[in-house]
Structure 1
């Protein structure tokens, strides 16, 4: 089969991926082989492949993260999946020998800790290939979907991240959410998901006024934009004023390049007894710690929780939200590429990382020969 292989970390501007024939995976117990139909390329993929992000990938590796696929064959322990089923392949793979604190790897992408790296050496390869092998528990049926819409469904990999954070926050309909990093790729997805889950108001801080205006144009008056100035006290006051009431939940999705002071100002807008969920990359590249004040946390009974990715059940919940129309994929602006143009697609994704812009690789269909908008 054909695959795009990261043979070594190198210059992101070069041809980082080798397009070549590789052996087809062999299905074992507890595994499913799928034809890869569409996979979303993160805007920061070039930073991963260059080594700038220092992800614990071990080349050579077929990279990528999450995919829409069609079942080719499954092992005998799968009782419902059938060849031909259209499915979502969740990249969040958990070890099966510890139900309480399982090791986690993002198949073909990243890992947490030594155990995650060990797990990644088995479920090593991702979706930048015509076929991939996926753990049975990571395969979720989509039902009937128009083939022309499959590239939009690949946005699941982006939407699931903030959805997992909002589930961790126990968001309830009618509450006010502040999305820190709202003008970014994951943050803007968080705005869409929070509104779909019933948030009454979503406060959207950011520096990019054009993106903030676009969020308001897309979602209406439930979105409350705040242009950040860099003055922590002033920004915190502006965010609280924009909420026009208590902030129940703060979801942080700021990237590694963001200053911890920005995350701190956003977190400290939350009301007493409120919830703060940290999902971004602040501090991953060094720099100042978040350093929330102990007395403020204690006296206000604030809950602060870290959340990496999402529970398995989130896959089913988000698929149902999309199928019901509660969460509308029509907002996604999608550009698709065939597998043989994978390097071009990575460069395109880096240059087109605005909210709701998705660059999608389609290894096994003619969808890769045209663009969906």
Structure 2
């Protein structure tokens, strides 16, 4: 089969003929119809992000495709089924603390690297081998819409945070980092789940205006000034009532004080979920006040990716018409043009923009 190969970090991606993946028990072979090219893929392939990804490797992170072969232990999947290839692969020998790898993308820890040694190659290829549980049915789709369905890859991460905080219909949510890829996806998903209002703070006034245009009165944009006291008051005032929960998607380039101001806008008994990159480049610690958390009974938790059942829930939101993928603008590239696709994804990063590779 034809595949994209990263020979080494810092080198252009190459197209090669590589052996077809070999099916094993507990696995599925999928014909890849479309695979998202993440906006920061250039930073991964250049080595700037220092991801644990052994080379040479067929990269990629998630895909939409059709089942080609199933293993002997598959009871529901069959050839021809449309599936989302979930890149979040979990080890099967520790249900309490499974090791996790993003297939074709990254690993963490010794266990993750061991798992990556087997589930290594990703979906920038004509075919990909994934664990059976990672080939999640999405129902029949028009093949022309496969690229659009790649939006699920981004939406699921936002959905994971909303599930972690147990967002309820009618609640007011604050999305810290609402003008970014994941923050805007969180806004869309929260509204689909029935949020009364999403408070959307940010500095990019054009993106805030676009969120207002798309979602109307159910989104409350707040232009940040950099003054913590003033910004905190503005966020609380923007909501039609107390802010029940905060979801943080701020990137590593943003200081901890910005995240802290947003989190502390939550009401007593409220919840905050951290999914961003604050502190990953060094700098000030988040430093939430102990007395404030304790006396206000605030719950703060971290969340990375999403639980397995989230994929079925996300597909349900789309199929029910509660969440429209039409918000995403998709630009598609052929396999031979993968380096152009990576450059395009970097240059066109932003809310509701999607770059897709179509093997």
- TM tier, smaller: over 0.9
Q: CA deviation at 1:112?
A: 2.6
Residue 65 of structure 2 contacts residue 146 of structure 2 at CA under 8 Å; is this kept in 1? no
Residue 69 (structure 1) shift: 0.8
Q: Partner of 1:45 in structure 2?
A: 41
* Inter-partner Cα distance in structure 1 for 2:29 and 2:184: 33
Aligned residue number for residue 267 of structure 2: 271
Q: Is the 8 A contact 2:172 2:240 kept in 1?
A: no
Alignment partner for residue 122 of structure 1, among 118, 123, 128? 118
Query: What whole-Å deviation, never above 9, does each CA across 1:151-192 have from its counterpart, x for those lacking one?
Result: 110111100001000000000000000001100011100000
Deviation track 1:9-46 (CA, whole Å, cap 9, x = no partner) reads 11xxxx62111111111001101001110111111111
Matched with 1:2 is 2
171, 182, 192: which one aligns with 2:188: 192
For residues 287 and 107 of structure 1, the distance between their equivalents in structure 2, rounded to whole angstroms, comes to: 30
Find runs of 4+ consecutive structure 1 residues off by over 6 angstroms: none
In the TM superposition, 1:203-214 aligns within 5 A as 203-214=199-210
Partners in 2 of 1:117 and 1:280 — Cα distance? Answer: 23
1:48-69 alpha-carbon deviations (Å, 9 max, x no partner)? 1112222211221111111001
In the alignment, the residues of structure 2 paired with residue 63 and residue 291 of structure 1 have an alpha-carbon distance, to the nearest angstrom, of: 37
Give, in angstroms, the shift of residue 272 of structure 1.
0.6
Provide TM-score, normalisation by structure 2: 0.98
- Structure 2 SS opposite 1:65: coil
Residue 72 (1) aligns with residue 68 (2): yes
Whole-angstrom CA distance in 1 between matches of 2:68 and 2:140: 17
**1:230-266 alpha-carbon deviations (Å, 9 max, x no partner):** 1222111111111132111100111122211111111
Q: How does 1:51-90 map to 2 (within 5 A)?
A: 51-90=47-86
In structure 1, what is the Cα distance between the partners aligned to 2:267 and 2:205?
26
The aligned counterpart of 1:142 is 138
For these two proteins, the number of residue pairs brought into alignment is 359
Supply the distance in 1 between the matched residues of 2:284 and 2:319 (Cα, whole angstroms). 42
Q: TM-score normalized by structure 1? A: 0.95
* Post-superposition CA distance 1:260-307 (Å, at most 9, x none): 111111111111110000011111222221111111111111100100
Aligned residue in 2 for 1:370? none
1:358 Cα offset (Å)? 0.2
Structure 1 unpaired stretches of 5+:
364-373
Match of 2:312 among 316, 319, 327: 316
Give the root-mean-square deviation of aligned CA atoms.
0.9
Name the structure 2 match of 1:254: 250
Q: Distance in 2 between matches of 1:235 and 1:274?
A: 19
Separation (CA, whole Å) in 1 of partners of 2:249 and 2:337: 30
Equivalent pair of 2:33/2:143 in contact (CA under 8 Å): no
What is the aligned partner in structure 2 of residue 367 from structure 1?
none
Distance 2:166 2:69 in 1: 37
Farther-moved stretch of structure 1 (281-290 vs 130-139): 281-290
Which structure 2 residues correspond to residues 5-16 of structure 1 after superposition, within 5 A? 5-10=5-10, 16=12
Q: What secondary structure, in the 3-state scheme, does the structure 1 residue paired with 2:306 have? A: coil
How far apart are residue 148 of structure 1 and its match? Answer: 1.7
